[in-house]
Chain A
Amino acid sequence: MAPVFWLSMRQLGGRVRLSIVVLLAALPVGLAVIVFFTARDDATYEEGFVNVLLDGMLVGGIMPIVTMALATAAFGNEVEDRTLSYLVLKPISRWRIALPKLLASIVIAGPLLIASGIAATIVGLDGGVRESAAVGGALFAGVVTYAAIFTWAGLISTRAIAFALIYVFLWEGLISSFIHGVDYLSVRGYTLAIMHGIDESGLEVLSTRVIGLPSAAVGASAVTVAFFWLAVHRLRKMDVP
């Protein structure tokens, strides 16, 4: 699996793509600094920080977009430039092609987003180890789950980014914000629930609108496994250009 992993790292680590995702990941930190110095004395500062910056911006926007930019390209670029045949015409199981692709997306997106989340939490919430671990752990789970979904999406359509954007903004952004039950079928819901589950006291503001930690852990795991299996299945059955 190592050759495919390192190949994917080089493919996804292109200067332009990397610059964009680094810039996106840095946004919450920059905003946290600004908010901290301009609004920390407000009565609703902590609630606003968690709802707007951590949930709305980082979990609801930056995390899916950064993961999408990487994971849809993991196979999407190979399908588009027709180099996928170099991988599938080898005597290796399809999961051994899909897994390193998925891992490469996670290895690039994960540290960037986790660092961004932890830095924003430390700056904005004066967060300690527990809060940072909660944000970092939840973001990692979110990145893994999104990466599985978007890796599969990159295999089923050359317009995966467009479909992924619609999904992120409609389902994860709009619908999951207004309909509580959707949290059981939403990566954003899982991420917030895991965040709150690890540090209930520090992130108490989330307590009224998150599902339980076990449900979130099971949901995220199930979605990850299901979409990874779909990606492997697609690799086995698709017509490779």
Chain B
Amino acid sequence: MSETVTSPVIDVHEVSKWYGSVVAVNEVSLQVYPGITGLLGPNGAGKTTLLHLIAGLAGCSDGDVSLLGERVRDNPKLYRRLGFMSEHEAVYGFYTGRQFVEFSAKLHGLTQAGSAINRAIELVGLTNVQDRMLATYSRGMRQRMRLAATLVHDPEVLLLDEPLTGTDPRQRVEFQELMLRLADEGRTILISSHILEEVETVAGRILLMVSGKLAAAGDYRAIRAKLDEQAYEVRLVTSSPRQMAAALVGTDAVDSVSVGSDGDLVVMSRSVAALMKSIPLLAKEHGIRLTRVEPLDDSLESIFSYIVER
């Protein structure tokens, strides 16, 4: 949290990682700043490998990774400032939840271990079951206790690989609230997921990985807008659908217009910004009242599907 906002907390520079002839990560460059960043992509896209490279669990075949301005690989001291939660759910089943968090605290050399352990377990809401053996926990509880062990040393940077696996909707909401709280305190959080809704609501920035490459980066709406070759659908509810359709067809921004049985217009465009500008102008020009303008597919899901299918 001592880093300035202008210097990236995580700096990945032209990183590649290959295993034999398989390229897991291919010339990826990215920067991550304080706040929550979502790392999205389908299974096998290279998200986990990239997180492992950032955490120093794996060495780069090419390129460099730095974390908080320091080299990560073979630099154990840096782990005082980093919390990493892997996608693998294995735990030491013979430990109680509290012992598991305590183990992590001891290895981090925490002096006030007791209070740190209490705080971490409280954060994930498992105080009442902390003395049960991990082997008896449900999948979601195990994930949360693993998160507590990741948070026990109060790290500045959090790398979370599919952290919501096995959690129920209520736990997801609690997790999202917790992440937002931690980010508000100035932490840098990188969350990977292949389920878009998990990060859509919390991540200010998205990194989209497909087939080992960084396919897109930025605000998810901005990413969507950049993909101008992808048809973009907007639904219009107007006082005069046919007149509006005729007006729209004559503009460059529109690829096609269809009128649904309910009278709604569905407009397809490859130039979102131009379309959004022209709709109110055309409505005003033709004296048409607009009651609703809504994007049909302006979600991460549609962006994600589109890029994956390319």
Contact of A90 among B58, B86, B94, B107 (CB under 8 A): B107
Closest residue on chain B to residue A239 by CB atoms: B58
B157 → A minimal CB distance (Å): 12
* A83 lies within 8 A of chain B by Cβ: yes
* Known A82-B86, A89-B84: A240·B52 in contact at CB below 8 Å: yes
B59 within 8 A of A: yes
A179 to B287, CA, bound (A): 103
Known: A10-B92, A91-B78, A91-B109. 11 other contacts (CB 8 A): A2-B106, A3-B103, A10-B94, A82-B88, A82-B90, A85-B86, A88-B57, A90-B79, A90-B104, A91-B77, A239-B52
**Cβ B82 vs Cβ A89 within 8 A:** yes
Q: Which of A86, A88, A240 contacts B104 (CB 8 A)?
A: A86
CB A100 to nearest CB in B, in angstroms, measures 11
Cβ contacts A2-31/B at 8 Å (1 or 0 each): 111001001100000000000000000000
Known A-B contacts A7-B92, A10-B94; the reply to A89 vs B57 at CB < 8 A is yes
The 0/1 profile, CB within 8 Å of B marked 1, for residues 160-191 of chain A is: 00000000000000000000000000000000
Judge if B282 is at the interface, Cβ distance under 8 Å. Answer: no
In whole angstroms, how far apart are the Cα atoms of A89 and B149 in the complex? 12
Cβ proximity bits A77-99 to B, threshold 8 Å, 1 near / 0 not:
00001110111111111100000
Give the bracket for the number of chain A residues in contact with chain B: 20 to 34
Which residues on B sit within 8 Å (CB–CB) of A81?
A: 90
A240 contact from B57, B82, B94, B107, Cβ within 8 A: B57
Min CB distance A133 to B, Å, is 37
- CB pair A91–B80 under 8 Å, yes or no, is yes
Query: What CA separation (Å) do A199 and B91 show in the bound complex?
Result: 48
Distance from B55 Cβ to chain A, minimum over Cβ atoms (Å): 7
Report Cα–Cα, A81/B135, bound state, in Å: 14
Which residues of A lie under 8 Å from residue B84 when comparing CB positions?
85, 89
CB-contacts of B72-90 with A (<8 A): 74, 76-80, 82, 84, 86, 88, 90
Q: Please, which residue of chain A has its CB at the minimum distance from the CB of B87?
A: A82
Identify the B interface with A (CB < 8 A). 52, 55, 57-59, 74, 76-80, 82, 84, 86, 88, 90-92, 94, 103-104, 106-109, 149
* Interface pair B103/A237, CB less than 8 Å apart: no
Asked if A236 CB lies within 8 Å of chain B CBs, one says yes
Which 6 pairs between the two chains have the least Cβ-Cβ distance?
Answer: A90-B107, A239-B58, A82-B88, A240-B57, A81-B90, A91-B79
The interface residues of chain B lying within 8 Å CB-to-CB of A10 are 92, 94
**Which residues of chain B have C-beta atoms less than 8 A from A94's C-beta?**
76
Provide the residues of chain B in CB contact with A87, threshold 8 Å.
107
Most chain B CB within 10 A, of A2, A10, A85, A93, is at A85
Q: Please give the distance in Å from B190's CB to the nearest CB on chain A.
A: 15
Determine how close the nearest CB of chain B comes to the CB of A69; give it in whole angstroms: 19
Q: Which residues of A contact B103 (CB under 8 A)?
A: 3, 7, 86
Residue pairs across A and B with Cβ atoms less than 8 A apart, 24 shown, are A3-B103, A3-B106, A7-B103, A10-B94, A81-B90, A82-B90, A83-B91, A85-B57, A85-B84, A85-B88, A86-B103, A86-B149, A88-B76, A89-B55, A89-B79, A90-B104, A90-B108, A91-B108, A91-B109, A92-B109, A94-B76, A239-B57, A240-B52, A240-B57
**Closest CB in chain B relative to A232 CB, distance in Å:** 11
List A residues 83-134 near B (Cβ within 8 Å).
83, 85-94
Chain A contacts for B80, CB-based, 8 A: 91
Find chain A residues with CB under 8 A from B74 CB: 236-237
Check if B76 sits within 8 Å of A92, measured CB to CB: yes
Contacts of A236 in B (CB 8 A): 74
CB-nearest residue of chain B relative to A11?
B92
Nearest B residue to A2, CB-CB:
B106
Contact residues in A for B149 (Cβ distance below 8 Å): 86
Q: Give Cα A87 to B78, complex, Å.
A: 14
The residue in chain B whose Cβ has the minimal distance to the Cβ of A83 is: B90
Collect the chain B residues with CB atoms within 8 Å of residue A11's CB: 92
Residues on the A chain within 8 Å of B58, using CB: 239-240
A88 cross-chain contacts in B, Cβ below 8 A: 57, 76
Q: Are A83 and B76 in contact (CB under 8 A)?
A: no
Task: Report chain A residues within 8 Å CB of B82.
Answer: 89
- Report the minimum CB–CB distance from B27 to chain A (whole Å): 19
